[in-house]
Every structure is written in C-alpha cells, then in structure tokens.
Amino acid sequence: MSRLNIHLPGLELKNPIMPASGCFGFGREYAQLYDLSKLGAIMIKATTVETRPGNPTPRVAETAAGMLNAIGLQNPGIEKVMNEELKFLEGYDVPIIANVAGTETADYVEVARRISAAPNVKALELNISCPNVKCGGIQFGTDPQTARELVAAVKAVSEVPIYVKLSPNVTNIVDIAKAVEAGGADGITMINTLIGMRLHERTGKPVIANGTGGLSGPAVKPVAIRMVYEVYKAVNIPIIGMGGVTEAQDVIDFMSAGASAVAVGTANFVDHFVCPNIIEELPAMLDTLGVEHISELIGRSHR
C-alpha cells in the first residue's frame, strides 16, 4: 500500500501533490517534460462561460521573494476547455479539479453544471478569491453571506464535490470558511494570492498595468500556514493548502497545520519539475519523521 495516497471527497489521490490553478495551464506544456499521471491531481486554469482575453500587459512582475500577477482569468471559455483541454487530459491517469470562475452567480452555475459532467473532472474549485478582475471573483469571497449563497447555488447543479478557494484578503478568513461550509462546500482550498504592488524604480509608477497584482511565492507561506492552521480548527471539511510551496518540507508544514493535500503554484515557473521532485522526496521525509503514512501528519500541530 502506498504511503502517500490520500482520500478526499471525490478525489482518490495517489499522493497529496498537485499543481495549483493558474500555474500549470491545462498541462500541455508540462506533459512534454514528464508524465502527468505522476501527480496526485491537476487543478486546471480557471474556466469562464465565454473566452476571456485577460488584463492588459505588463501583468507579471518579480518581487524579492515571489511574484505579482494580474492575468485576469484569461482562458478560452467553457466550450473549448470541454472539447479540447479536458479531452487532452483524458490521456492521463490523474483526477482533474476544474477551477470555476465568473462575474455573477449565473456564470458560476453554468460553468459548474457543464464542466462537472466531464468524465475526468472529479471535483470543482470554486474561485471566489481572484483579486485581479473588476467584477466577480473576490466580491463573492469577502462577504460570508454572499459566499454561502454562491456555494449553495453551485452545489445544487454540480455532479461532483465542490472545493472553495478562499482569499487571504479578508478581515477574518475563518468567517468565510464557516460560511462556505454552511453553504455545502465539500472542502476548501487556500490561500489565493495577497494583493500587492511593485513600483518602477525610475518612474515611481506601478509596474503592473492593472496597478495591483496577486502576490505569490515564498513570501506568502507564513501567512498561508497561519490561515490553514486557523481554518482547520474551525471547520469539519478538508483543506488543500497552498502558498509559497517550493520543497517537500513545505508540504510537511502545510499538512501539519491542517491541510490534507498541498498545491504547488509559482514554483512551477522556476522549476518545471518541482511537483514530481517533491513527490519523490516525500517518502524519505516520512522516514526521517518516523511516520508510516503521510496522512498521520494532517493536523499534527494541533495535537
């Protein structure tokens, strides 16, 4: 029996490692480098009803310990994702978590209804936390009542379990976590990016055309760990943790704080093999810790 397998609602993971949505596209580029079937799951790029061109450039900027992005949910739309991207991914033995986005409740419901019917989509990730779009996204993720109602509406039409992606850009993330649980969420993914800004050294103006962008990378890990720790104590649904993961020790930290699985984001841009490398390193980490199965780590910070 594998020491790394994890069971979550809708998801039988051979290991707890997956690329985070928005940092892996639909997997085509990475499939040229390694077998995607090695991954625990794949969180595909956000999908909306219609094609979205995204925000104007420049929309990415490096920072001292991470990066800012303001992509703006660029994607080809539900029709193309269903007919092309998900068809491509059917060639791999890996569960797909489809990231669902929109500007209003009806958009989320439409995408969820259609994409949850795809045979390889085993769960949805409801994106209520994107900070880089003018309407939709984060407006649903900052008010508990609005978040609960959106989750309930999507839950009513989805054929697969729903995980809700939480924003760190709130006063109390526990309130939002409790609200989405009350709305019927089967799990939580957290955290999305922190809103940040970088100024041009010479002009003093924002480097990103959008002004602000989402900060990710190693700089956000302590914030993410703290939030996972707090939410784990407050809800009874599983957490997929993310935020600044670059190595196997980060996975141990997130699971100790309360995550049942871990997503790797920005690090994929730096090291294209980061996910399979972490997976290979985990058994030795378990040996060092004297742990037989990785699930024993979940929430150990609280024991």
Cβ within 8 Å of residue 202, ≥6 positions away? none
pLDDT at 269: 97
Please give the backbone phi and psi of residue 106, each rounded to the nearest 5 degrees, phi first: -60, -35
The encoded tokens of residue 133 equal 């779009």
pLDDT, residue 166, reads: 97
Q: How confident is the model at residue 1 (pLDDT cuts 50, 70, 90)?
A: low
Q: Give the model's pLDDT for residue 134.
A: 55
Strands (E) located in 154-218 = 162-165, 187-190, 194-196, 213-216
Alpha-carbon torsion angle 41, 45, 49, 50, nearest 10 = -150
pLDDT tens figures, 217-253: 999 999 999 999 999 999 999 999 999 999 999 999 9
Beta carbons of 233 and 259 less than 8 angstroms apart? no
**Would you say 221 is a known binding-site residue?**
no
Residue 243 counted as an annotated binding residue = yes
- E strands of 45-199, at which residues? 60-63, 66-69, 96-100, 121-127, 162-165, 187-190, 194-196
pLDDT recorded at residue 132: 58
- Is there a binding annotation on residue 234? no
Residue range 130-166, pLDDT digits in tens: 765 655 566 788 999 999 999 999 999 999 999 999 9
Instruction: Show which residues are catalytic.
Output: 130
To the question of whether residue 99 is assigned a binding role by annotation, the answer is: yes
Please write the tens of the pLDDT for every residue from 34-68: 999 999 999 999 999 999 999 999 999 999 999 99
> What percentage of the chain carries pLDDT values higher than 70?
97
pLDDT at 276: 99
pLDDT on residue 133: 60
45 annotated ligand binder:
yes
pLDDT digits (tens, 9 = 90+) for 106-132: 999 999 999 999 999 999 999 998 765
pTM of full prediction above 0.75: yes
* Whether the predicted pLDDT of 296 surpasses 60: yes
| CATH code that applies to domain 6-55+70-196+214-302 | 3.20.20.70
